[in-house]
Amino acid sequence: MGILHKAAQYRAYKEGVVHTTLNPKGPGSVRIHLIPPKWRLFSNAPYVMILNGYYILPQGYSWAILLGSFIGEVNKFEGEPIDEKHMEQIMDRAVARTRRIYYVKEEELRADLQEILTMLYGVARGEEPSGDIEPLSLREYARNMTAPHRMDLMISSMLDEGGNWNCSLKCRNCYAAGQPAAGGKELSTQEWYEIIDRCRRAGICQLTFTGGEPTMRSDLTELVRHARWFVTRLNTNGTMLTGELCEALYEASLDSVQITLYSGDAGIHNRLVGADLPGSTGNWEKTAAGLENALKAGLNVSVNTPLCRENRDYIRTLAFLNRAGIRYVTCSGLIETGKAESGDSQLTVEEMNSLLREAIAFCSQHGMELSFTSPGRADKKVLEELGIAVPMCGACLSNMAVAPDGSVVPCQSWLGEGAALGNMRKDSWKKIWSHPSCKAIREMSEEEALYCPLRKEKTAEGKEAAENGHHRSKV
């Protein structure tokens, strides 16, 4: 590769992530984040393009330079509508910029750019990316990364600085309850602004606002608005999603909201969220109302259900969500920390396999899309047979989290003693990313990543994995 090409690569690396939104008013809005690889003089690793915060696609050097030039030209029209004439001008300028670095015939570059745009708009319409683009293994690509793609911001504490419960529910299987990193004094609005800005400078392109219960904060809308550059999501129990708040979040450009619903049966849901316990102010009715308010406000809504023995009749929940107009659903097993560290509520792998078969059949019949998010909680072959993406641990790789006090932890469930890898307000990002524990977790093998490192050896699935020669990370 010539000197001009390497110089262009270095400039792109120093510039960091570039972002734009095509057709922002929709339908078919496309959010693009183009992430350069870690700079190495004698390496030509692919760039990474993230579409709508979901698809992670590798981009070769020439296409990345072309797409980066296109994004730069689009962003000159920020706040202005782009018609066909403007788009022709943008494409002409992007091709001209690219030819200064990468000499190819103009018609070839224009054809390449048109192919890229066709793929982008296809993805926005729900089509899969072109088969010509190979899937990217982040674990193999990790050496070229300088940050995760998503940071979960725990903007609210489970316990306030006085030790008082600070959530509208008291979920019986709460993974954060009693965890050292989940409580304490919360940061101010300005301090979270600083962390959001640091996330952008680090090259992180997705933010999830979570907790605790993030809707307990009166400045939630301001924080979301400050994060417009990112693809943003809100994780909430939904009990405080008033119509007014949902409309404000929509106006602040929140990309999606995920609401936790344990069951379509009010009694089962209320038992699992501790609606009857002192200090709990939420219940099924409030979550159902929050769900309705979010949909009415035009927010992109998905619903997550942590599955256990008490709510294993998942079809009943899916039927309720289908009637409510929900298309995207996720489910999981229990995270074995906090209140779920002990007890026998966890479903076995065999039980989860059976449940997922039924769920996929229902979703296929009713036009719903199902994701499963618990590594090792269902059989890999069964998931592949059902067409469900096999979940893997993404801690310190695809995602990390910032605790309520600004400490960075491997993921939003990793909240035990000694979990902190540094502090987002006090330490350099390079120091946090290079922390020995962070590197060790990131270097888990593909086989190890099929299981959550937080799981206990005493569980039936842990014993089964050990007998089959599967080993989990010891970090």
Among 97, 117, 136, identify where a domain stops: 136
Residue 261 and residue 231 in one domain:
yes
Q: What pLDDT sits at residue 131? A: 55
- Whether the CB-CB separation of 355 and 347 falls below 8 Å is answered with yes
The terminus-to-terminus CA distance of the chain in angstroms comes to 40
Q: What pLDDT sits at residue 244? A: 98
Residue 80 lies in a domain: yes
Residue 100 and residue 208 in one domain:
no
Lookup result for tokens 């910032």: 402
DSSP 259-325: EE---SSHHHHHHHTTTTSTT----HHHHHHHHHHHHHTT--EEEEEE--GGG--HHHHHHHHHHHT
Residue 472 lies in a domain: no
Tell which residue, 123, 113, 119, 124, has the closest CA to residue 25. Answer: 124
- The answer to whether the predicted template modeling score (pTM) of the entire model surpasses 0.75 is yes
Calpha distance 350→377 (Å, rounded): 9
Q: What pLDDT sits at residue 104? A: 83
- Domain total of the chain: 2
Give the domain range for residue 32.
3-136
CA 438: distance to chain centroid? 19
Residue 394 lies in a domain: yes
Calpha distance 58→45 (Å, rounded): 9
* CATH number reported for the structural domain that contains residue 391 in this entry: 3.20.20.70
Angle at 444 between CA 442 and CA 445, to 5 degrees: 135
Residue 231 lies in a domain: yes
Residue 475 lies in a domain: no
Residue 322 and residue 388 in one domain:
yes
Residue 83 and residue 14 in one domain:
yes
Per-residue pLDDT of the chain (475 residues; tens, 9 = 90+): 555 555 665 565 566 898 998 877 666 678 899 998 887 766 678 889 888 887 888 888 888 889 999 999 999 987 677 888 999 999 999 999 888 887 788 999 999 999 988 888 887 676 776 656 666 788 888 999 999 999 999 999 988 877 888 899 999 888 888 888 888 889 999 999 999 999 999 999 999 999 999 999 999 999 999 999 999 999 999 999 999 999 999 999 999 999 999 999 999 999 999 999 998 999 999 999 999 999 999 999 999 999 999 999 999 999 999 999 999 999 999 987 776 655 678 899 999 999 999 999 999 999 999 999 999 999 999 999 999 999 999 999 999 999 999 999 999 999 988 999 999 999 999 999 999 999 999 999 999 999 999 875 333 344 344 334 333 332 3
- In sequence order, the 6+-apart residues with CB closer than 8 A to the CB of 204 are 147, 148, 149, 150, 151, 230
Lookup result for tokens 């989940």: 182
Residue 110 and residue 256 in one domain:
no
Residue 445 and residue 334 in one domain:
yes
For residue 393, what are the CA distances in angstroms to 156, 442, 450, 451, 456?
24, 9, 6, 7, 15
Residue 41 and residue 93 in one domain:
yes
Residue 198 and residue 92 in one domain:
no
Residue 294 and residue 200 in one domain:
yes
Residue 473 lies in a domain: no
